[in-house]
Structure 1
Amino acid sequence: MASNKPVCYYIMGNGCVEDQNAVFEKPHLGMKNHLKALFIRAKVHGVGVNKILVDGGAVVNILPHFMLKKLGLYETDLHTHNVVLANYE
């Protein structure tokens, strides 16, 4: 199995591309009321994606089927895992 290393690039206002690290620190108590979902724009396999949810605590990542097609990928390109999803109602 091939090893994948995530790469993050930041595109400056003048079009220059820079490597960047993103560090998210735990918010202090005063910031808890201001927390909102973090969405970014990115390119995946060279295709622009406008809304990517950044969630470092997620156990699974969900990719809609239409996005798989837009990326030119197939279900056979996905990696399968034995994970059971359940709700806690």
Structure 2
Amino acid sequence: MKYRHLTEGERYQIQALHAEGLGPTAIGQRIGRCKSVISRELRWHQHRSCYHAGEAQRSYRQRLLAKGKLRQPWGPAFDEIAVPLLKG
């Protein structure tokens, strides 16, 4: 299976579901991602038991920019809209 990065929308879904008290397995099932991806994301970006999607997304974009691989502006919209339609 090909790896794909979490989208900004997925990060906000993780934030909302984590705030409801759901664990990585339940969050992964809800958003269609592996529980290890969710667990790793929470571990990397969780501060004082709160996950902040905005901070996680900023950190992700800074890492891409440092590598010189900033995505096209339409990339996140494509991930959010077109990819689910293509899977369906």
> Which structure has the highest strand share of the two?
1
Range into which the TM-score falls when normalised by the shorter chain = under 0.3
**Larger Rg computed on CA atoms:** 1
TM-score when scaled to structure 1? 0.23
> Which structure has the highest helix share of the two?
2
TM-score when scaled to structure 2? 0.23
With CA pairs under 8 Å and 6+ residues apart, which has the higher RCO, 1 or 2? 2
